[in-house]
Amino acid sequence: MSPGTRLPINANPPLIGKLRHAYPLSILSADDAYLPWFHSNFIQLFWPRARGFPHATLDFFYPPHYPSLPLLDTQLFDRRILDRRGEGVLGDFLVSCLADGWYAQLYVDEFHIPGRAAYRCAYMPHRLLVFGCDRDKASFDVLGFAANGRFTASQVTGSELEDAFVSAELAADIEAIEAGERETTLGDLAKISLARYDSSKSCSFDLQLVIDQLSDYLLSRNTADRFRMLDLSYYGQEATGMEIYNGIGRRLEYSLRHPEFADVLSLHILWEHKKCMLARIQYMETRGYLDPGDALGEAYAEIAAQAGVLRMMMLRFGMGRDRRLIERMIGRLAPVAERERALLERGLQQLTVRSHGPGTDGSLPDLTAVTGGGG
């Protein structure tokens, strides 16, 4: 058997704010074949109600666990299948998976993972992606956030990974979950997710899906309603689409009253959204879906830049708790939202004409009912 396996990985995927997006995209973005699918998705934003105000963080809409990605085969199973086979099974299982081309995503306690912020100081159940192994060194290649906040690859020994895996299970108190006391936690901590890249598959750009999601975003409609046949209770929401600017405004006002609260993650995801939207616009311009002469991408680049400024201001507030930063951020929100709305409405009209042509009376979609964002 080969001394080791290292599957292709991109440690700088287009999204890292949420690991449920970052890990699949780290696999997919190792090859540009994923781009038509990527630019057809990750348009809608929402704020889940699950953790309540103000602790819920902004997120992209995409059904959980990525059950049907066009370029990945996926499997999801209960981690206790391994538990019943005794100690030391995890390492052999992962080596076998990697040899067959399977990436493994599992929950571990980062107390046992060197280089993590929680290492030897705090209990921290967190997702980890395993993408390689070295049998000679008895180590595994993993992806995640280092103590310095960077999303990066690192190595852990087999014993460290085993300890982290077992500790996460014990900390979550699986026995209590089985007794029905914490049933909602089981779905996350007790599952192992496998994914394998399938180069025989392909994907294409879905213009109608882009139109649907842009319409939902501008009209602040819940895109999860389009998937009512699935259990998407996670998408019960505080806000969606352009209404998320109001959610940001509410959290900024909360930070004025409670300066210990700094929602850096939501501002980071807002920035990621604008970067992805800019890349999508440029992709559509180069392929004739949008008119390059309209310079929509050039105009939208300023929205992405402003979102980056807001992110940096929140990072500075998190370090120094200067309320003046929050006041300035509140003043910047409404102009960014209004400008983004105008640009995306213009782009959506172009896409609708490209897809269907104008209506029989020459009319385009009525977007005048969309209310403004703002703080």
pLDDT in tens, 115-134: 999 999 988 888 999 999 99
Helix (H) or strand (E) holding 255: helix 244-257
Lowest mean pLDDT among 17-21, 40-44, 229-233, 277-281: 229-233
Separation of CA 369 from chain center: 29
**In the chain, pLDDT over 90 holds for what percent of residues?**
69
Question: Which tens digit of pLDDT belongs to each residue from 69-116?
Answer: 789 999 988 888 886 666 678 999 999 999 999 999 999 999 999 999
The pLDDT value recorded for residue 64 is: 60
When pLDDT is averaged across residues 181-197 and rounded to a whole number, the result is: 70
Question: Which tens digit of pLDDT belongs to each residue from 28-56?
Answer: 999 999 999 999 999 999 988 766 688 88
User: 328 CB contacts (<8 Å, ≥6 apart)?
Assistant: 313
The pLDDT value recorded for residue 105 is: 95
Among 62-76, 158-172, 178-192, 307-321, the range with the most confident prediction by mean pLDDT is: 307-321
Q: Is pLDDT of 234 > 80? A: no
**Strand 151-157 to 139-145 pairing:** antiparallel
Q: Is pLDDT of 354 > 60? A: yes
Alpha-carbon separation of residue 12 from 55, 117, 152 (angstroms): 27, 20, 8
The pLDDT value recorded for residue 300 is: 98
Q: Is pLDDT of 176 > 90? A: no
Separation of CA 232 from chain center: 16
Return left, alpha or beta for 72; rule: phi > 0 is left, psi -120 to 50 is alpha, else beta. Answer: beta
Q: Is pLDDT of 369 > 60? A: no
The pLDDT value recorded for residue 361 is: 45
The pLDDT value recorded for residue 175 is: 36
The pLDDT value recorded for residue 51 is: 65
Cβ neighbours around 360 below 10 Å, total: 6
How many alpha carbons lie under 13 Å from residue 205 in its C-beta half-sphere? Answer: 17
Question: Which tens digit of pLDDT belongs to each residue from 309-342?
Answer: 999 999 999 999 999 999 999 999 999 999 999 9
Q: Is pLDDT of 272 > 50? A: yes
Q: Is pLDDT of 163 > 80? A: yes
Q: Is pLDDT of 375 > 80? A: no
CB 136 within 8 A of CB 4: yes
The pLDDT value recorded for residue 171 is: 54
Cis previous bond, 54, omega within 30: yes
CB 235 within 8 A of CB 306: no
Question: Which tens digit of pLDDT belongs to each residue from 207-218?
Answer: 999 999 999 999
In whole numbers, what is the pLDDT of the chain averaged over residues? 87
CB 245 within 8 A of CB 332: no
Separation of CA 93 from chain center: 27
Write down the pTM of the prediction.
0.89
When pLDDT is averaged across residues 138-144 and rounded to a whole number, the result is: 97
